[in-house]
Amino acid sequence: MSTDGAGAPILVLNAGSSSLKYQVLVPETAEVLVKGLVERIGEDGGPGGAGVADHAAAMASVADQVAQVGIERDGLRAVGHRVVHGGPDFSDPVLVDDAVVDDIRDLVPLAPLHNPGALAGIEAARAAFDVPQVAVFDTAFFATLPAAASTYAIPKEVSAQHRLRRYGFHGTSHRYVSRAVAELLDRPLDSFDQVVLHLGNGCSASAVAGGVAVDTSMGLTPLEGLVMGTRSGDVDPAVFTFLHSQAGMSVADVDTMLNKRSGLKGLAGANDFREVLARAEAGDEDATLALDVYVHRLRHYVGAYAAVLGGLDVLTFTAGVGENSPALRACVVANLARLGIAVDPARNEASSREARVISPEGSPVTVTVVPTNEELEIARQTAALLAGGR
């Protein structure tokens, strides 16, 4: 084994306020040794209850699972943590120490729904595993956004005082997928411009010029941009004022409505894309409108980012919906042939779990489907940091 532990597995953690997703994998081979999810953290349950008391208890359960597959605690190379918000300063992964924990805590006002869970996960993992801990930020890939794309047109002293800007999220996925596209096409990353559509429960688009992110649809928070499972994406910000003054809703009520009761759920009553699609195919009008709004917004962003990039070489679909729904992909590219964008019906419909091209041979824009793998990307970035590679 080399001094930086190459070959040893890395534990990747994605801690939320009430859940802890984990995966132990070897970044060099992508081999997954064990993975799972501890849910209902903080719901101690009592007799027969399924919850666990806190993140420390959840981490003890993860340590048990890790031990059960024969990995000693000190047999891990490191723990890599997904941290949603890196704020203005974290543009790369960092080795976690007390100062970094304080810095992540300082970002809680920017990500009150997300960073507290990550912090609890980091604290628990530091206590449970005496190996290097690395934080990988979901915003980091978008630190390269030019000011024109990251700046809100509001008074600059307000932005400066409160660190308001477009940060972007899902960056770990957009980074992984944009690099996987270069591998799939066997083209140097810096030789082409691409748009990546990450369509899962959360949805985001990115414009990537020669491997460098230049625009993305999520903003200060993951609420902006595309229509999502339960989030509205773009709305006129005056919706807040209107619903407050006309409907008597509090700011917190509107925030909850836009984050939890909007998107596909708000329009069709279901946040699961498959369910909305099935209902639309059965003739349900609400589901049909929900899909139309979802697709319209996607086409809007594809066109916008083709303009931002000054032309497009590759369009990629990823995450649950993007990887698995030929119908959605066909709708997004319908009638875009004049922009050079089309899919080959047989290639689009073919069932596969591999990265693949679905546009016709010789198409001006190459359309691809690339499965995302955020855990592998976090493990790779963790390994690279330890090896001094970045």
Residues serving a catalytic function are 138
β-pairing, 10-15 vs 78-83, is: parallel
| Rounded least distance, CB 94 to ligand ADP, Å | 24
Query: 295, 302, 372, 377: which is closest to 339 by C-alpha?
Result: 302
Q: Which is nearer to ligand ADP, 105 or 274 (by Cβ)?
A: 274
Tokens of 155: 């008074």
Q: Which is nearer to ligand ADP, 138 or 193 (CB)?
A: 138
> Could you count the other beta carbons within 10 Å of the beta carbon of residue 386?
21
* Closest to ligand ADP by CB, 132 or 229: 229
Q: Which residues bind ligand ADP (CB under 6 A)?
A: 200-202, 229, 272-274, 319-321, 324-325
Decide if 366 contacts 171 (C-beta within 8 A): no
The CA distance from 344 to 325, in Å, is 14
Phi and psi at 27, nearest 5°, equal -65, -30
Contact status, residue 76 vs residue 10, Cβ threshold 8 Å: yes
* CB-nearer residue toward ligand ADP: 202 or 233: 202
How many of the other CB atoms lie within 10 Å of CB of 107?
24
Among 17, 129, 1, residue whose Cα is nearest residue 65: 129
Closest distance of CB 299 from ligand ADP, Å: 18
Strand spans (E) along the chain: 10-15, 20-26, 31-38, 78-83, 94-95, 133-137, 193-199, 203-209, 212-216, 314-318, 356-357, 366-369
CB of 202 to ligand ADP, least distance (A): 5
Q: How far is the CB of 356 from ligand ADP (least distance, A)?
A: 16
Min CB(297)–ligand ADP separation in Å:
15
Q: CA angle, corner 324, sides to 25 and 184, nearest 5? A: 60
Q: Which residue is nearest to ligand ADP (CB)?
A: 320
Q: Closer CB to ligand ADP, residue 373 or residue 382?
A: 373
Question: Distance between CA 325 and CA 336 in Å, rounded?
Answer: 18
Q: In angstroms, give the least distance from the CB of 275 to ligand ADP.
A: 7
CA–CA separation, 290 vs 279, rounded Å? 11
Q: Which is nearer to ligand ADP, 91 or 201 (CB)?
A: 201
Which of the 8 DSSP states describes residue 360? Answer: P
Nearer to ligand ADP, 19 or 61 (CB): 19
Q: By C-alpha distance, which of 201, 388, 195, 170 is closest to 304? A: 195
Q: Amino acid letter at 23?
A: Q
**What six digits make up the tokens of 44?**
């101690």
Phi-psi region of 41 (alpha: psi -120 to 50; beta: other; left: phi over 0): beta
- In the bound state with ligand ADP, the residue whose beta carbon lies nearer, of 75 and 320, is 320
Q: How far is the CB of 358 from ligand ADP (least distance, A)?
A: 15
For residues 187 and 193, the answer to whether their CB atoms sit within 8 Å is no
Tell the residue number behind the tokens 């005056």, with chain if given: 238
| Tokens coding 288 | 């049909």
> Considering the complex, what minimum distance in angstroms separates the CB of residue 322 from ligand ADP?
8
